[in-house]
Amino acid sequence: MPTFDYAPAPESRSVVTIANSYGLFINGEFNDGHGTPFDTINPATEEVLAQVSEASTADVDRAVKAARTAYETVWSRLSGADRGKYLFRIARLLQERAREFAVLETLDNGKPIKESRDVDLPLAAAHFFYHAGWADKLEYAGLGPAPRPVGVVGQIIPWNFPMLMLAWKVAPALACGNTVVLKPAETTPLTALLFAEICQQADLPPGVVNIVTGAGATGQAIVEHPDVDKIAFTGSTEVGKLIARTIAGTRKRATLELGGKAANIVFDDAAMDQAVEGIVRGIFFNQGHVCCAGSRLLVQESVHDDLVHRLQRRLATIRVGDPMDKNTDLGAINSATQLARVTDMVAVGEAEGAHRWSPVCELPSRGFWFAPTIFTGVSQAHRVAQEEIFGPVLSIITFRTPAEAVAKANNTPYGLSAGIWTEKGSKILWMADQLRAGVVWANTFNQFDPTSPFGGFKESGYGREGGRHGLEGYVTTGGAR
Ligand code: NAP
Ligand code: MG
């Protein structure tokens, strides 16, 4: 099959000014943290981009105090319509500065510019627009009479969609009248810090949004702080369980968005070329660093060989490399640690007897890279069929009947998402009814929209983000507080 050579089409990084060092954003101002500053790097080149402050427990306390004061004196007293104006302003500023944010996201995270430009940033702005619309209509959201804010919310987010996860967290919290202390991930703090500038530009009252950078210890300080009313966390199931244990017995509420091991299920009557595109989108989007990635391909036995052949042909055309190049499909793995995790899991798959295949592709010599990889001959008991790899690695399993597909799809501790590929609507509805997953996509995969609730069953967490359901986690109804 002919493949095409593309001339380089690099996005310019001159649209972004990166400072040498960054402070914490507390009470509307940047000031230094009292922990040990750390570097954030570009995972595609290993270049140090900036030095970032580490928030100590005392810094987290300052941030929570600022959030509490802003909550009591300003934000919870504003009308919904006035809160909505701020959110609309933030949304418009994000759109105006979208290119700057997209370039910064790609530099700090390693994801392809075409994804940060076309997915992360438009969706982040859309979340602010959507929630701006709810701010003055909360009484009509069906959440109960006279919904009130929860208070000060601690928000902890991962590195895979730094700006988008920030938007998922901050927009609904603010729309409902809460104030926030947010911690971005250690490896991807820069867009959150640029967002702090947006808060200043939007004249958001000081203390409504506070951004504290740091690693796990900073997150833990937020979780343990006695004056935080709710924790909203996205990350690994392991840390999610730790948070649930820490807050057990306290008045703190939590929503947890955790890991996944989604089944992408292809029946013999599916439109095969479309399914191949959906499989690629399902597992190679964002280097597979996606909690709802379609990391288990369940394919009906009669079409297995044909589908694997088509998939291999398609994978040979995937362009891996410079994330700043507009033609790049697969960018850098986010960190050396994550690359080691993916590499280890792939070695486990081979040792367990699954058959590993990757297209011929040249990987850059610096930075963290992993070729698109598929495993065939995977059995249900293999670790590559059970555990989240969080990288560009697909495990392929076969089934014969719809009932067997359901049993295999549900045979996981997770339950975040699933995909179904068939031309029969009745089969889609029957399957969707049986699958224990928060989101089920039919003849598509990895589609996101602020109006649509997202969240998990089982060890994928609890609570929903987005849509009317997502508001529930940020309000309280009935009874005086
Ligand atoms: P992680 O280690 O759980 O980290 C998530 C966030 O928690 C980071 O900001 C992290 O800080 C912080 N953290 C680490 N230890 C903590 C502690 N003891 N207390 C409080 N906070 C702590 O997860 P990750 O490996 O970065 O992210 C990948 C995981 O996130 C995957 O399992 C994926 O499935 C999941 N994820 C889920 C969703 C969803 O919506 N369900 C979305 C995206 C990702 P540092 O980064 O500084 O360590
Ligand atoms: Mg980085």
- pLDDT tens digits, residue range 226-279? 999 999 999 999 999 999 999 999 999 999 999 999 999 999 999 999 999 999
- Asked whether 472 lines ligand 1 (CB < 6 A), one says no
Report the distance separating Cα 232 and Cα 212, nearest Å: 15
**Closest ligand to 49 CA?**
2
State the Cα angle at 67 between 224 and 124, rounded to 5°: 95
Tell me which residue has tokens 């295949």: 357
Structure-token pair, residue 144 = 């109960």
Report strand pairing: 439-442 vs 179-183: unpaired
Residue type for position 14: S
Which residues are paired to 232 by β-bridges? 155, 255
Cβ-proximal residues to 125 (8 Å cutoff; 6+ apart), any chain: 91, 94, 95, 98, 167
**Closest ligand to 50 CA?**
2
Structure-token pair, residue 139 = 């009484």
Residue nearest to atom 46 of ligand 1 (CA): 185
For residue 257, which atom of ligand 1 is closest to its CA? 41
| Confidence (pLDDT) at 481 | 46
Cβ-proximal residues to 385 (8 Å cutoff; 6+ apart), any chain: 261, 296, 378, 379, 395, 397
Report the distance separating Cα 70 and Cα 207, nearest Å: 5
* Other Cβ atoms closer than 10 A to 32: 13
Helix/strand/coil (H/E/C) assignment for every residue in the chain: CCCCCCCCCECCCCCCCCCCEECEEECCEEECCCCCCEEEECCCCCCEEEEECCCCHHHHHHHHHHHHHHHHHCHHHCCHHHHHHHHHHHHHHHHHCHHHHHHHHHHHHCCCHHHHHHHHHHHHHHHHHHHHHHCCCHHHCCCCCCCEECCEEEEECCCCCHHHHHHHHHHHHHHCCCEEEEECCCCCCHHHHHHHHHHHHCCCCCCCEEECCCCHHHHHHHHHCCCCCEEEEECCHHHHHHHHHHHCCCCCEEEEECCCCCEEEECCCCCHHHHHHHHHHHHHHHHHCCCCCCCEEEEEHHHHHHHHHHHHHHHCCCCECCCCECCCCECCCCCHHHHHHHHHHHHHHHHCCCEEECCCCCCCCCCCCCCCEEEECCCCCCHHHHCCCCCCEEEEEEECCHHHHHHHHHCCCCCCEEEEECCCHHHHHHHHHHCCCCEEEECCCCCCCCCCCECCCHHHEECCECHHHHHHHHEECCCCC
- CA of residue 102 to ligand 2 center, whole Å: 14
| Confidence (pLDDT) at 479 | 55
Sheet with 355-357, side-by-side order of all strands: 355-357, 373-376, 393-399, 296-300, 263-266, 417-421, 439-442
State the Cα angle at 154 between 148 and 157, rounded to 5°: 125
- Asked whether 236 lines ligand 1 (CB < 6 A), one says yes
Query: Are the CB atoms for 348 and 385 separated by under 8 Å?
Result: no
- Asked whether 54 lines ligand 1 (CB < 6 A), one says no
The rounded Cα 275 to chain-centroid distance in angstroms is 23
Torsion over CA: 137, 140, 143, 148 (sign): positive
Report the distance separating Cα 386 and Cα 388, nearest Å: 7
Q: Which of 251, 229, 193 is nearest to 22 (CA)?
A: 193
Structure-token pair, residue 392 = 């560009």
- Return phi, psi of residue 165, to 5°: -65, -35
Tell me which residue has tokens 């510019």: 113
- CA of residue 262 to ligand 2 center, whole Å: 27
Residue type for position 283: I
Residue nearest to atom 9 of ligand 1 (CA): 185
Task: Output the tens digit of pLDDT for each of the chain's 481 residues.
Answer: 456 688 999 999 999 999 999 999 999 999 999 999 999 999 999 999 999 999 999 999 999 999 999 999 999 999 999 999 999 999 999 999 999 999 999 999 999 999 999 999 999 999 999 999 999 999 999 999 899 999 999 999 999 999 999 999 999 999 999 999 999 999 999 999 999 999 999 999 999 999 999 999 999 999 999 999 999 999 999 999 999 999 999 999 999 999 999 999 999 999 999 999 999 999 999 999 999 999 999 999 999 999 999 999 999 999 999 999 999 999 999 999 999 999 999 999 999 999 999 999 999 999 999 999 999 999 999 999 999 999 999 999 999 999 999 999 999 999 999 999 999 999 999 999 999 999 999 999 999 999 999 999 999 999 999 999 999 999 998 654 4
- Asked whether 189 lines ligand 1 (CB < 6 A), one says no
- CA of residue 256 to ligand 1 center, whole Å: 10
- Asked whether 220 lines ligand 1 (CB < 6 A), one says yes
| Confidence (pLDDT) at 480 | 47
Mutate to test the pocket of ligand 1, among 168, 239, 296 (most ligand atoms within 8 A of CB): 239
**Closest ligand to 189 CA?**
2
Torsion over CA: 242, 246, 248, 251 (sign): negative
| Confidence (pLDDT) at 6 | 86
User: What are the residue numbers of the active site?
Assistant: 257, 291
Q: Which of 218, 231, 226, 227 is nearest to 34 (CA)?
A: 218
For residue 390, which atom of ligand 1 is closest to its CA? 31
| Confidence (pLDDT) at 145 | 87
The length of the chain in residues reads 481
User: The whole model's pTM is what?
Assistant: 0.97
Structure-token pair, residue 193 = 């810090």
* Domains observed in the chain: 13-257+458-476 (3.40.605.10), 263-442 (3.40.309.10)
Structure-token pair, residue 246 = 């820490």
| Confidence (pLDDT) at 5 | 80
Report the distance separating Cα 444 and Cα 310, nearest Å: 17
- Asked whether 388 lines ligand 1 (CB < 6 A), one says yes
Largest CA distance in the chain: 68
Residue nearest to atom 40 of ligand 1 (CA): 257
- CA of residue 238 to ligand 1 center, whole Å: 9
